[in-house]
A and B are shown apart, each in its own frame.
Chain A
Amino acid sequence: MPEIRVSQLLKEGESIALKEDDQHILLCRIGGKYHAVSNICSHARVLLSKGRLRGTTITCPLHGARFDVTSGKCLGGPAFQDIASYSVSNEDNEIIIATEG
């Protein structure tokens, strides 16, 4: 299964944008756990990583669509489609994101 390995550990509440081939991924650390979702807003194709994260919710910086980064669920705003969510595991100080390839 295709995967992305990240050796950088995040601080609590931190999020980073990852790009591998054409895939944009947003990686966040919340409550000690890592979560990965698509970094592209389902409304206007903007990078969500430029938006602000509060709790488990990220707000798209352009029009304010909101997504739960633990599930990819769309919470409101002009968007109505969820974004992809990827499973994340931890291994020897490395974060492994299982992508769809």
Chain B
Amino acid sequence: MSEASKSSGSVPFTKITADRYISPDYMLQEREKLWAKTWLVAGVVQDVEEPGDFFVFDFEPESVIVSRAEDGTINAFYNVCQHRGARLLLTNQGAMETYTCPYHGWVYNNDGSLCKVPEEEKFSRGVPKEALSLQPLRVDVWGGMVWVCMDQDAPTLQEYLGPVIEMIEPFRPEDMRLVEDQTCRLECNWKAVFDNFGELYHVEHIHPQHELIFDCPTSTAEYFNGGHTRVLIDGFTVNSRLPIPDEVPPTQWAQMKTLGMERDNYKGRVLDVRRDVQLRKRELGPSLGYNYDRLSDNQLSDIVQYNIFPNTILVLQPEEFWILRSRPHATDPNKCYWDKFALRMLPDVQLQENTKIKFPALQNRANVSFNLDQDSDGTARPEHDEFDQEAIIAGEKTMTITLDQDIHLIRDVQKGMHSRGFKEAWLNDDEARVQHYHSWIDKYINQQFN
């Protein structure tokens, strides 16, 4: 019995019926009771590094501007002109001193204050500039991410995330740089795609490639107050339920090679690779430009995934960090936006120079984690790429093979939810993270937190 199933006894049972995925009424309840009450990842701090930098975070029907003002503070405002309610910024990011409304030309400073109203004398009742400045919402920064919250009475971000903060900090996500920024428009409810990342039961069925990299059956899950969960999966190994191969699988080989490991040494002892990868990374980290000091040995080889309530998944490896985020559609519960931000730890050149061990075979960018195959080297911010799920299905776009496989499937789950033949989900012990997540959805929707 896996650790995951052992600990699921504490997760309360929640009836997961189809209405929460397809009902417009349920969608409106979420808007008032869930989205308006929780802390949400708005974007990455990298996008507001300098004064004037801004980005727009849309979670329909809301839109939020996150900007760094000239005095260096980061602010968040609703993206709406206070004159007639027009959407103020129609772009997703950039750097501006002031924002001019496209409709009648009201001008706001990048700290949100209203600075100019054309033909102000026409407003005989005056223009109270302070009251008509952009409407702020709460904003905080942690883990290289900017977080926003619409509820003035909600707990602080630190309280909201709880123990997750200390667990993630050794990975130093704030030191990583964006290498990929994608959005796929999915034809499923925003929770349907999130649920998919709440269990590993499906992995053997739709992600066969994982058998030769990870050992999902021995994964361990944890359930946190607030609806967050974590799962730890051994990496640089193979699925322990299946026959152990004699040779190191090619999927691990690419990474092992850059760590100077000989494939032939592991013939007949593939299960030793994980431990040796940990030792090699520990030994060679500085010469590769990676500071692994705060990470445990297991963290050097394994993969850890946090599902942050209500809509964000953080996947961490020492050299790489993914932010996966599901955003609702304005009017249709059968649609959502699925974002992937991929960030990479850039090798520390100073650390490399200071180290006594020289490892000439390695280039600046050692391929030592599972997905470091993007083209970008992290020096220039990648352009945002947005596309329909059809582009993935047609093979024109990819969000990596694993996410693509999920996208192929998820629209059909949404279709099934509409059937008279479907009543409610029947979850197993390994799907307890889904259960935990939905029990917290219920707490918010019912506004009962005890």
Which residues of A are in contact with B by a Cβ distance under 8 Å? 44, 51-57, 59, 61-66, 75-78
Residues in A whose Cβ lies below 8 Å from that of B97: 52, 61
Q: Which of A44, A56, A59 contacts B94 (CB 8 A)?
A: A59
Q: Is B83 an interface residue (CB 8 A)?
A: no
Give 6 A-B pairs besides A59-B96, A64-B89, A77-B92 with Cβ atoms closer than 8 angstroms: A55-B380, A57-B94, A59-B91, A59-B95, A66-B94, A76-B384
The 8 A CB mask of B221-256 against A (1 = contact, 0 = none) is 000000000000000000000000000000000000
Q: Is the CB of B384 within 8 A of A52?
A: no
Q: Which of B89, B92, B95, B102 contacts A54 (CB 8 A)?
A: B95
Q: Is the CB of B383 within 8 A of A64?
A: no
Q: Is the CB of B53 within 8 A of A78?
A: no
Known: A52-B52, A64-B99. A77 touches B381 (CB 8 A): no
Q: How far is the CB of B433 from chain A (nearest CB, A)?
A: 36
Q: Range of interface residues on chain B? A: 20 to 34
Q: Is B90 an interface residue (CB 8 A)?
A: yes
Residues in B whose Cβ lies below 8 Å from that of A63: 89-91, 100, 102
Q: Is the CB of B380 within 8 A of A77?
A: no
Residues in A whose Cβ lies below 8 Å from that of B92: 76-77
Q: Is B98 an interface residue (CB 8 A)?
A: yes
Q: Is the CB of B91 within 8 A of A76?
A: yes
Q: Is the CB of A77 within 8 A of B96?
A: no
- The residue in chain B whose Cβ has the minimal distance to the Cβ of A79 is B91
Q: Is B30 an interface residue (CB 8 A)?
A: no
Q: Is B50 an interface residue (CB 8 A)?
A: yes
Q: How far is the CB of A89 from chain B (nearest CB, A)?
A: 24
Q: Is the CB of A55 within 8 A of B381?
A: yes
Residues in B whose Cβ lies below 8 Å from that of A66: 91, 93-94
Known: A54-B50, A57-B94, A77-B94. A62 touches B384 (CB 8 A): no
Residues in A whose Cβ lies below 8 Å from that of B100: 61-63
- The residue in chain A whose Cβ has the minimal distance to the Cβ of B100 is A62
For the complex, what is the distance from the CA of A60 to the CA of B394, rounded to whole Å? 35
Chain A CB count within 10 A is highest, among B89, B95, B100, B381, for B95
